[in-house]
A and B are shown apart, each in its own frame.
Chain A
Amino acid sequence: MAQYFSRMGDGSPIAVTKDEIMADLIEGSEDAADRAKVPALSQGEYEHLLDIFCAREKFMSVEAGKEVILTYDAGTLKIRRVGVNVDRIQALQIYEKLLGADTMELSHVDYSYKPVKHIAIFEQPILEQALLGTHIPLFYGAQPNLGMYSQPDGPFPNPAELMPMGKIQEAQESYEASVVDLVKDIVYVASLMYESGADGINLDTTGAAGDADFLAALLATEELRAKYPDMCIELGMAGEFVLGMHSQLKYKGHRLAGMYPHDQLKMAELAGATIFGPVANTNTSKSSAWNLARTITFMKPCGEIANIPVHPNMGMGVGGITVNDHPPIDIVSRSSKAMVEICRLDGL
């Protein structure tokens, strides 16, 4: 039986048959459907994915007319991460003029709202100068990163230490106090950057510290929307599933713990987000076919029910893409094509 080139979730090359690919597609989709209580993919969608995985081309793309735009997280930070020693305004120009980016994001290396709070007035002039010389929409972005508010990094008792001691209520109270401070910091930084001219604010990796982290991002979005009705707020998630670290937090009557992307989207809409970025995480010990079918099963309901643009996270370790510092173009392009063609998406 013919063998086809593919990869595992960690990027390792593998040779697989059509039957093996199809089996993984079905298993991955059914895993997501079972977890999120959404429909598995249809036979036609499985066959479309099979065609994509069995194509011999190294690079694949969507058919003409189905192109989507790209937004970025940690934009200027990534130029530094790869060791290109340029200023951040130059980094923005590199993305715009050399990489043809549709949008870009100015960000600080300490990519969380709490540390940015202290240097926000030094970030503003950089943004203001960047806006004079660039053309594409510029976001200012950082992570909510609620973990920075508990000891030893922050002022509140550490829930991860309290819970093993059985101090559940104290841990929950610590999370609730952290939410209040985090909302203040997000609103403070986002307000300054918007008043400096930013086209949008990105709350990236939302929910990384669980339901309290997600709640803070929603409350900050709500406050910013009331303060600046025209502000673009992109709310990107950290994972496919909101961890119930507190477990009882609600937003407008909806319990946040355990929410999957299609429910997270509805919370983002309720809060007033402009763009929502759902996530599905990659399992390194499963194949790319398994991971991609699983991701698409999570994302498809989002695209179908959304009233706002949806930009799923596609990059290292998310969106069916391998967990590898150098994501291979065969999987990146296959995943991107499949996501756009099967789900009703607005960007990546």
Chain B
Amino acid sequence: MRGAGDLVARMQMSKGMRNEEAKAYVAKKLSVGIEDLTDPVIMNEVRTDLGIGVMTPLPGVPKGIEAKFNIAKALDIDINCVKRFLARTS
């Protein structure tokens, strides 16, 4: 989560993508270079801008399930617990 490892993992887990494909997919969706995915400085800014969760969250930024709603949107994937949250609240 210091970079984008959790996001790359989500693509492997949800779409069965292999590592290179998953990295390329995430980089494209986040509009960053593949080499940026492991850079904690760049990714902290990107993650803050997209509201997808950061290591040191400031007050008011999306956290936990809030951030996972934004991750699902940013990566265009279904996240099981986000679907479950929606099903139980809407």
Interface residues of A (CB under 8 A from B): 64-65, 67-71, 96-97, 100-103, 128, 131-137, 194-200, 230, 232, 274-275, 306-309, 345-347
Contact = CB atoms under 8 A, between A and B. Distances in A.
B52 to A, nearest CB: 8
A102 B16 contact: no
Contacts of A307: 16
Interface of B: 1-2, 5-6, 8-10, 12-14, 16-19, 22, 34-35, 37-38, 52-53, 55, 63-65, 67-68, 71, 78-81, 84-85
Nearest to A231: B80
Interface of A is mostly: loop
B80 A275 contact: no
Contacts of B52: 135
A69 B81 CA distance: 21
A72 to B, nearest CB: 11
B81 A136 contact: no
B18 A198 contact: no
Given A67-B38, A135-B68, A100 B19 contact: no
26 contacts: A64-B38, A71-B9, A97-B1, A100-B2, A100-B55, A102-B1, A131-B81, A133-B64, A134-B64, A135-B53, A135-B63, A135-B67, A135-B68, A136-B9, A196-B84, A197-B81, A198-B80, A199-B13, A199-B81, A230-B14, A232-B14, A306-B18, A308-B18, A309-B19, A346-B18, A347-B9
Choose among A70, A133, A230 the residue with the greatest number of B CB atoms under 10 Å from its CB: A230
Given A67-B38, A197-B84, A199-B80, A102 B65 contact: no
B1 to A, nearest CB: 6
A103 B64 contact: no
Given A102-B9, A197-B80, A199-B81, A274 B1 contact: no
B16 A135 contact: no
A65 B33 CA distance: 10
Contacts of A345: 19
A137 B78 contact: no
B16 A274 contact: yes
Given A69-B12, A97-B55, A135 B19 contact: no
Given A131-B81, A136-B9, A137-B10, A100 B1 contact: yes
Given A194-B80, A199-B80, A309-B16, A135 B9 contact: no
B78 A199 contact: no
Nearest to A134: B64
Q: Which 9 A-B pairs have the closest CB atoms?
A: A102-B5, A197-B81, A135-B53, A232-B13, A346-B19, A131-B81, A136-B6, A100-B2, A133-B64
